[in-house]
């Protein structure tokens, strides 16, 4: 049995696309620290793989599943390493493992990612610390219900393995900061002329080979003025670009000056030090896209370029924030207890009603509790989440000099009647021609590469801005002279208001280079409202393409109802056209997925 005074060798790794799995991992790591352990916490891809052999005794992995059973972006490198055939079957026989998956049972490959990771680690010699848990977002108890039971089993298992773990802990104790920040009070203020752009560009100097410097060539609205949805066509110029249809661009947005100033004003002790130089002690947390130039590091620049202050606060945020509420008064004590309540798994409904349902922001939370809140600068990297890059599928055919994006500006009202604007799209909308911009290029789940000798028909289903990668693929095929039949099922609200690139589709149709099947859900004279209905209207064509011509199917757009309804429609077509039973049609589509003929990218 291991002593708690020794290095525990507990490692918590996460694979997270939206931040949900990451928050559970951070919450668990904080809980383990309260129990006297010293867990390491990182994303799967950021964890040094040699440490699996040298430093890890208890391995805990929390991972979500995205798309069609895909691993999150920050876990694919880890899985690629595990799949190396030369790895011996006893490589990790010193590790005890447990895993927690987050998935949605309405998707065919439910919790596929964690199943793949768990199975492969067992093949490499890991033994089970406690049973794997596969949480289902669709159930009434939600992910929290699964997590609570799994964490209880995990703690019981660890207590049997490690001596000295207490039965309970005191949640009022403030743990030392993991990434303490020091203000250099005696140094001169660092003032930049344009903090929103100039400082962000200094990321490139951190040695990252992924970052690309570009400039805005055009940023225009392509939906009709007066239409509720502002969709931007952003064109970025650069040099030596390498990408193919299906690739994505990552943008690195910043918070607006007004929001940053508002937060600083809510913590008056920050005002005189907002522009003083900062030093980060210990290991700097992983920031995708790199840290800005350390010579420009201030509280203001951190809040502007790296710390997400307008996202919805998560459980781990409240767990830390509660420590900074002054409980010396009756009001302060009540507010501190309320913050602690939001951090408890058993009070998940309270957290949902306060934060998630009204889409309340971190900035608004601090405003509401400001009277008794005093946040030490030392803890800002422990408290605030890091701004994540936003990924957009490329809309242009491959070019060494420019890349195009289609981006819907996010604006909506909450149940509190407050207007919300997306962090990235609010920033992107304000970009002017010739503005400098930092970006990077990545692969997505859409793999458009085909052998040169194989040109099967391509069926594309892409409502709204999901048409971006289809535009890239269609232009690439038609402009390179490849003889390949292309079928596009496109859906939007109105032919007049938001039929994106309608002129292009009509032109290609007139040249017999594209078969286009649009539908307009809000036009009164439109008999067919949604893409799934248009697909069924063409059931003989679609059935023939899939069953007789081995067509490849690409689906891209919003997650939720659309991809599910499209799949249901395809099953109906296979049953009708192919004389199959429902289960046979399901199996046929699953086989299409497994062989790369059914590809989906949704968000």
**Do 444 and 246 meet the contact criterion of CB atoms below 8 Å apart?**
yes
pLDDT, tens digit, 9 for 90 and up, residues 180-190:
999 999 989 88
Alpha-carbon distance of 425 to 336, in angstroms, equals: 34
- Report the phi/psi class of residue 39: left, alpha or beta, with left for phi > 0 and alpha for psi in -120 to 50: beta
pLDDT, tens digit, 9 for 90 and up, residues 301-326:
999 999 999 999 999 999 999 999 99
Among 2, 13, 23, smallest CA distance to 388 is for 23
Query: Which residues contribute to the annotated binding site?
Result: 16-21, 64-67, 102-111, 137, 359, 422-425, 465, 521-522, 603
Residues sharing a CB contact under 8 Å with residue 191, sequence separation 6 or more, in sequence order: 275
Buried b (16+ CB within 10 A) or exposed e, 583-593: eebbebbeebb
Q: What is the CATH number of the domain that holds 314?
A: 1.20.990.10
Q: Determine, yes or no, domain membership for 209.
A: no
Res 431: pLDDT: 95
Sign of CA dihedral 212, 71, 158, 141: positive
Res 67: pLDDT: 76
- Report the phi/psi class of residue 106: left, alpha or beta, with left for phi > 0 and alpha for psi in -120 to 50: alpha
Q: Determine, yes or no, domain membership for 232.
A: no
Q: How many domains does the chain have?
A: 3
Alpha-carbon torsion, ordered 54, 60, 63, 69, to 10 deg: 80
367 and 463, same domain (yes or no): no
pLDDT-derived band at 561, boundaries 50, 70, 90: confident
pLDDT-derived band at 451, boundaries 50, 70, 90: low
- The mean per-residue pLDDT over the stretch 245-260 comes to 95
81 and 154, same domain (yes or no): yes
- The mean per-residue pLDDT over the stretch 350-373 comes to 96
556 and 463, same domain (yes or no): yes
189 and 150, same domain (yes or no): no
pLDDT, tens digit, 9 for 90 and up, residues 102-124:
998 877 789 999 999 999 999 99
Res 447: pLDDT: 79
Q: What is the CATH number of the domain that holds 469?
A: 3.40.50.80
Alpha-carbon distance of 443 to 189, in angstroms, equals: 41
pLDDT, tens digit, 9 for 90 and up, residues 331-340:
999 999 999 9
Indicate the residue among 383, 398, 418 that finishes a domain. Answer: 383
pLDDT-derived band at 437, boundaries 50, 70, 90: very high
| Residue with the two structure tokens 């010699």 | 125
Q: Determine, yes or no, domain membership for 108.
A: yes
pLDDT, tens digit, 9 for 90 and up, residues 151-185:
999 999 999 999 888 877 888 899 999 999 999 99
Res 1: pLDDT: 64
**Do 98 and 129 meet the contact criterion of CB atoms below 8 Å apart?**
yes
Is a pLDDT exceeding 90 seen at residue 467?
yes
Query: Which residues contribute to the annotated binding site for FAD?
Result: 359, 422-425, 603
Top-confidence residue, 89 or 523: 89
- The mean per-residue pLDDT over the stretch 67-72 comes to 86
Query: Which residues contribute to the annotated binding site for FMN?
Result: 16-21, 64-67, 102-111, 137
191 and 305, same domain (yes or no): yes
Top-confidence residue, 18 or 16: 16
549 and 589, same domain (yes or no): yes
Res 208: pLDDT: 60
378 and 507, same domain (yes or no): no
Percent of the chain with pLDDT over 90: 78
Q: What CA–CA distances, in Å, run from 299 to 274, 287, 443?
A: 5, 16, 34
Q: What is the CATH number of the domain that holds 49?
A: 3.40.50.360
133 and 18, same domain (yes or no): yes
Sign of CA dihedral 349, 352, 355, 358: negative
260 and 128, same domain (yes or no): no
Is a pLDDT exceeding 80 seen at residue 223?
yes
Query: Which residues contribute to the annotated binding site for NADP(+)?
Result: 465, 521-522
Indicate the residue among 383, 406, 431 that finishes a domain. Answer: 383
Res 248: pLDDT: 95
**Do 222 and 500 meet the contact criterion of CB atoms below 8 Å apart?**
yes
Q: Determine, yes or no, domain membership for 212.
A: no
- The mean per-residue pLDDT over the stretch 390-414 comes to 95
Q: Determine, yes or no, domain membership for 73.
A: yes
335 and 471, same domain (yes or no): no
**Average pLDDT across the chain, whole number:** 92
Q: Determine, yes or no, domain membership for 513.
A: yes
Indicate the residue among 340, 355, 383 that finishes a domain. Answer: 383
Percent of the chain with pLDDT over 70: 96
Alpha-carbon distance of 199 to 197, in angstroms, equals: 6
Alpha-carbon distance of 596 to 445, in angstroms, equals: 11
Q: Determine, yes or no, domain membership for 424.
A: no
- The mean per-residue pLDDT over the stretch 357-386 comes to 96
Res 314: pLDDT: 95
Is a pLDDT exceeding 90 seen at residue 602?
no
pLDDT, tens digit, 9 for 90 and up, residues 497-522:
999 999 999 999 999 999 999 999 98
- Angle formed by the axes of helices 539-547 and 561-577, to 10°? 80
Q: Determine, yes or no, domain membership for 492.
A: yes
Q: Which domain holds residue 325?
A: 181-195+251-383
155 and 298, same domain (yes or no): no
- The mean per-residue pLDDT over the stretch 527-547 comes to 94
pTM given for the model: 0.91
Is a pLDDT exceeding 70 seen at residue 209?
no
Alpha-carbon torsion, ordered 261, 262, 268, 274, to 10 deg: -20
Copy the structure tokens of residue 555.
Answer: 């689906």
358 and 479, same domain (yes or no): no
């Amino acid at each position: 049995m291991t002593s708690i005074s020794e290095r525990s060798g507990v490692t918590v790794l996460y694979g997270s696309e939206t931040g949900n799995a990451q928050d559970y991992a951070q919450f668990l790591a904080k809980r383990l620290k309260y129990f006297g352990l010293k867990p390491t916490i990182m994303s799967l891809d950021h964890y040094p793989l040699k440490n699996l052999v040298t430093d890890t005794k208890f391995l805990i992995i929390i991972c979500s599943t995205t798309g069609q059973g895909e691993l999150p972006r920050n876990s694919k490198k880890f899985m690629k390493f595990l799949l190396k055939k030369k790895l011996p079957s006893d490589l990790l026989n010193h590790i005890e493992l447990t895993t927690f998956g987050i998935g949605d049972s309405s998707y065919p490959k439910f919790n596929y990612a964690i199943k793949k990771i768990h199975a492969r680690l067992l093949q490499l010699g890991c033994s089970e610390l406690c049973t794997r848990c596969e949480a289902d977002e669709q159930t009434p108890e939600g992910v929290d219900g699964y997590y609570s039971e799994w964490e209880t089993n995990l703690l019981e298992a660890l207590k049997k393995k490690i001596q000295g773990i207490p039965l309970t802990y005191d949640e009022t104790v403030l743990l030392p900061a993991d990434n303490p920040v020091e203000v250099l009070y005696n140094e001169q203020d660092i003032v930049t002329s344009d903090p929103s752009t100039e400082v962000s560009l200094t990321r490139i100097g951190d040695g990252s080979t992924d970052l690309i410097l570009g400039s805005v060539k055009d940023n225009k609205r392509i939906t009709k003025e007066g239409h509720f949805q502002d969709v931007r066509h952003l064109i970025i110029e650069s040099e030596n670009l390498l990408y193919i249809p299906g690739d994505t661009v990552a943008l690195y947005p910043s918070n607006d000056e007004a929001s940053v100033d508002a937060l600083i004003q809510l913590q008056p002790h920050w005002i005189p030090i907002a522009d003083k130089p900062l030093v980060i002690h210990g290991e700097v947390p992983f920031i995708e896209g790199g840290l800005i130039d350390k010579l420009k590091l201030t509280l203001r620049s951190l809040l502007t370029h790296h710390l997400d202050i307008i996202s919805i606060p998560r459980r781990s945020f409240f767990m830390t924030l509660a420590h900074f509420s002054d409980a010396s008064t009756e009001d302060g004590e009540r507010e501190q207890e309320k913050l602690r309540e939001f951090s408890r798994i058993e009070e998940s409904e309270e957290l949902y009603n306060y934060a998630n349902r009204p889409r309340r922001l971190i900035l608004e939370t601090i405003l509401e509790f400001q009277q008794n809140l005093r946040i030490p600068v030392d803890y800002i990297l422990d408290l605030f989440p890091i701004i994540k890059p936003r990924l957009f599928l490329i809309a242009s055919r491959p070019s060494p000099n420019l890349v195009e994006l289609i981006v819907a500006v996010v604006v909506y009202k909450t149940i509190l009647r407050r207007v919300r604007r997306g962090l990235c799209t609010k920033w992107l909308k304000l970009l002017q021609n010739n503005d400098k911009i930092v970006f990077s290029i990545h692969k997505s789940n859409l793999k458009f590469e085909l052998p040169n000798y194989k040109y099967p028909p391509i069926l594309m289903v892409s409502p709204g801005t999901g048409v971006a990668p289809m535009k890239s693929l269609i232009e690439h095929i038609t402009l390179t002279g490849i003889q390949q039949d292309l079928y596009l099922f496109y859906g939007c609200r109105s032919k007049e208001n938001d039929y994106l690139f309608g002129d292009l589709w009509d032109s290609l149709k007139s040249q017999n280079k594209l078969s286009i099947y649009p539908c307009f859900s809000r036009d009164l004279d439109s008999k067919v409202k949604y893409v799934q209905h248009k697909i069924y209207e063409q059931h003989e064509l679609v059935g023939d393409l899939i069953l007789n011509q081995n067509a490849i199917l690409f689906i891209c757009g919003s997650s939720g109802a659309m991809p599910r309804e499209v799949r249901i429609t395809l099953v109906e077509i296979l049953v009708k056209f192919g004389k199959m039973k429902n289960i046979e049609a399901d199996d046929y589509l699953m086989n299409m997925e497994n062989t790369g003929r059914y590809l989906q990218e949704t968000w």
